[in-house]
Chains A and B, each alone.
Chain A
Amino acid sequence: MEIPYIVDEREDTGLINSKLGIWIFLASEVMLFGGLFSAYIFLRMAAPPGDFAHWGSELNVPLATLNTLVLITSSVTMVMSWASLKLKDFDKYKIYMGLTLLCAAIFLVVKYFEYTAKFHHDIFPSSSTFMAIYFTLTGLHGLHIIGGMIVIIYFFLPFGNKMWHTAPEHFTNRVEAVGLYWHFVDLVWIFLFPVLYLL
């Protein structure tokens, strides 16, 4: 027997399984980053005044601003790729998916330069508690970007998106779920940027 509500919405809940599942997953992700943000607040309160701001001034704000723009762009292209599927335009879908992937790669490259510049100046996680939480938060966020990229690559490559030809609606729902995850990762960065770089 097939599992129901993969493509059609259940009448009383108005949901398909994957959308509900991804939202619950995102709730757990909120708690994960919430735990780390709480740790940030806790540690900042415990540190002497000005310590976090002092170490925060070591960070490269222009590069982070660039990265913020790159990630927001990738969120837009992600929506566009899903919208293209809704409009049954598979070629456009591939273009937008490719652009999303490109943005993610740019983000990671910029992040790589930021990290190596820090290491070059002998700044490591062990240098100060601010740097420790900076590397932990951005590192974990980077892992989320990489995880998202793996899934996006899967849906970008032919063996992942062949489902479009057999079950287009099911495939569209899968892309929507990835999109929701991608927007969340983007949103985490929107919080990380001011908290780490600007405050």
Chain B
Amino acid sequence: MSSDSHHQEGFLRKYIFSIDHKIIGLQYGVTSLLFLLFGFSLMIIMRWQLAYPETVVPIIGFLFGEAGVMLPEQYNSLGAMHGTIMIFLGVVPLAVGAFGNYVVPLQIGAPDMAFPKLNAASYWSYFVGGVIMLASFFMPEGAARSGWTSYPPLSVFESGQTMWLIGMVFLITSSLLGSMNIITTIIQLRAPGLTWMRLPIFVWAQFVTSFLLVLAFPPLEAAAVLQLMDRIASTSFFMPSGLVYAGEPVDVSGYGSPLLWQHLFWFLAHPEVYVLILPAMGIVGEILANNTRKPIWGYKSIVYSIIFLGFCSFIVWAHHMFLTGMGQVMSTFFQTTTMIISIPSVIILTAYFMSLWGGSIRFNTPMLFALAFLPMFGIGGLTGLPLGLAASDIYLHDTYYVIGHFHYVVAPGTLFALFAGIYYWFPKITGRKMNESLGKLHFWPSFIFMNGIFMPMFIQGLAGVSRRLYDGGQMYAHASGVLEWNTFMSISAFCLGAAQIPFIINFFMSILVGEKVDKNPWESTTVEWSAPSPPIGHGNFDTEVVVHHEAYEYNVPGAKNDFTPQTEEP
């Protein structure tokens, strides 16, 4: 124990400007959960508008146009900010910032991240980006309203976009610093004996995710700089010649291309999909192995699939652009790669299902969420196939079908896995278990209402209802047959909000009065469970960590328990 663990640190140094990976992980976790709640609230307001258009928004009606009825541009703002906040301020910081920071060093037996100060810089950069995004709601221009994709030329004309771009630059910087740190930590700080093929799946997932962030985010930063130039220095990177806006010809220097933005944007945003899903797959892998009490099925094929997913995610981006007229050759290439990338996802999902076979499954709350992830992600993935094929995508593009598809991947998929992770690692973080009854009260309604929201979107989408109509499609005859689903989905959304109340109660109650637990309440094998709960301030572990076993040695014949911790002497 070095001398620095003995001197007293002030409150600010210890909890606010901390450089301890555990505190930074918790900072990320708390901030991103608040952003998730905020992004969810934006969606609740949108769902009210879709179900009951042209009516006064209850309670907060004074925020909207005259007489409390929402204006179309306000709806657009809510949509753009819901997407931005959920992805860049909610799910990614929770999956990579919070879980990556807190769990990865523990799982590899490291005393901290490789660069503690950089870690703090990454959090504070994220924080500033978040404040800028929130502040944009209070600017005279209002928040961004060109969708989270910010397609030009619209985004260059529309107000509020400048703040969005500046906020994004901070968020991108944060992700870069954080993922550099995670990669270096995993390569350099693994405990003795922890070889690559002994790493837990979660660490592998974070490793590949971090590479995606490091390599895919910078082109979006470049694109954000170019769009800022378009807005501020009146250049025309994304503004085509002969552009007419609101009946007036626009003065541009010429030969710009809106397609360029779409290429640069989706070069990030498709790998971003895997940034959202890989950590979730990692968490689910941990929990499945632990609660089926048997080694995860096909560990190596899962690892290779994760790596292959990472590589492939860089060459599928233009399947978001089949409708842009980029040409048949391009479309064919990208639809082929899209079909190829579905293979590793299927391998991982199959391996997880096979892991259940013959296990003696414990149905605790983390396991329920992890189990729910499997079919939900399955639905999300399978409904993606028609979108990856150019012919069917031309019909389905920009309909509610797309919304249903990617929400199945991210909401009941990734978010359920993240909830599972919170329930699973809560005892490690606080030394207390979360309440099981409240956990189940959280899970079952969430599971039902999630499907209540997103399943009807497939029906509406197949009927051709566009995703961007602020009145939910009332002005279109072809939508009239499926309009009644709007009320159903909105009520499901409100109920989903109510279903999160047990979680919030459980979260705070368990911190104070939850059942106290020892080092290893789940009888798990991975290294983080040989640290004290909570892990000690500087250095995490109270004993020296040496790894002797593979990641998931459950029920090894001849072993003294049904689990063999990685750190157990042979």
Q: Which A residues contact B (CB, under 8 angstroms)?
A: 1-5, 10, 13, 15, 17, 20-21, 24-25, 27-29, 31-36, 38-39, 42-43, 46-48, 51, 124-129, 131-133, 135-136, 140
- Interchain nearest-CB distance for A67 vs B (Å): 22
Q: Quick check: A17 and B188 within 8 Å, CB to CB?
A: yes
Cα–Cα, bound, A43→B257 (Å): 7
The A-contacting residues of B in range 215-267, CB under 8 angstroms, are 215-223, 225-226, 229, 233-237, 253-257, 260, 263-264, 267
Query: Which residues of chain A come closer than 8 Å to B60, judged between CB atoms?
Result: none
Q: Quick check: A136 and B226 within 8 Å, CB to CB?
A: yes
Query: Which residues of chain B come closer than 8 Å to A136, judged between CB atoms?
Result: 225-226, 229, 235
**Assuming the A-B contacts A3-B189, A24-B214, A28-B180, are A17 and B115 also in contact, with contact meaning beta carbons closer than 8 angstroms in the complex?**
yes
Query: Other CB < 8 Å A-B pairs besides A46-B255, A128-B254, 9 of them?
Result: A1-B2, A15-B188, A31-B215, A35-B223, A43-B237, A125-B229, A129-B235, A132-B229, A132-B235
Query: Which residues of chain A come closer than 8 Å to B71, judged between CB atoms?
Result: none
A-B contact pairs, 21 of them (CB 8 A): A1-B1, A1-B540, A4-B188, A15-B187, A17-B188, A20-B188, A21-B118, A21-B180, A24-B214, A28-B214, A32-B222, A34-B219, A35-B219, A35-B223, A39-B260, A47-B254, A124-B233, A125-B233, A129-B236, A132-B229, A132-B235
The contact string, 1 if C-beta is below 8 Å from chain A, for chain B 454-485, is 00000000000000000000000000000000
Which of A15, A17, A24 gathers the greatest number of chain B CB atoms within 10 Å? A24
- Interchain nearest-CB distance for B213 vs A (Å): 9
**For the complex, is B155 an interface residue (Cβ under 8 Å from A)?**
no
Q: Quick check: B1 and A39 within 8 Å, CB to CB?
A: no
Q: Quick check: B184 and A20 within 8 Å, CB to CB?
A: yes
Q: Main SS of chain B's interface residues?
A: helix
Q: Which B residues contact A (CB, under 8 angstroms)?
A: 1-2, 5, 110-112, 114-116, 118, 176, 180-181, 183-184, 187-189, 214-223, 225-226, 229, 233-237, 253-257, 260, 263-264, 267, 538-540
Q: Quick check: A2 and B183 within 8 Å, CB to CB?
A: no
Cα–Cα, bound, A43→B223 (Å): 13
Residue of A nearest to B217 (CB): A28
Q: Quick check: A35 and B264 within 8 Å, CB to CB?
A: yes
Q: Which of B111, B260, B540 contacts A42 (CB 8 A)?
A: B260
Query: Which residues of chain B come closer than 8 Å to A51, judged between CB atoms?
Result: 255
Q: Which of B253, B267, B538 contacts A1 (CB 8 A)?
A: B538
- Interchain nearest-CB distance for B10 vs A (Å): 21
- Interchain nearest-CB distance for A147 vs B (Å): 12
Residue of A nearest to B263 (CB): A42
Q: Quick check: B184 and A126 within 8 Å, CB to CB?
A: no
Query: Which residues of chain B come closer than 8 Å to A2, judged between CB atoms?
Result: 2, 111
Query: Which residues of chain B come closer than 8 Å to A133, judged between CB atoms?
Result: 237
Q: Which of B181, B221, B234, B256 contacts A129 (CB 8 A)?
A: B256
Residue of A nearest to B256 (CB): A129
Q: Which of B188, B220, B253 contacts A132 (CB 8 A)?
A: B253
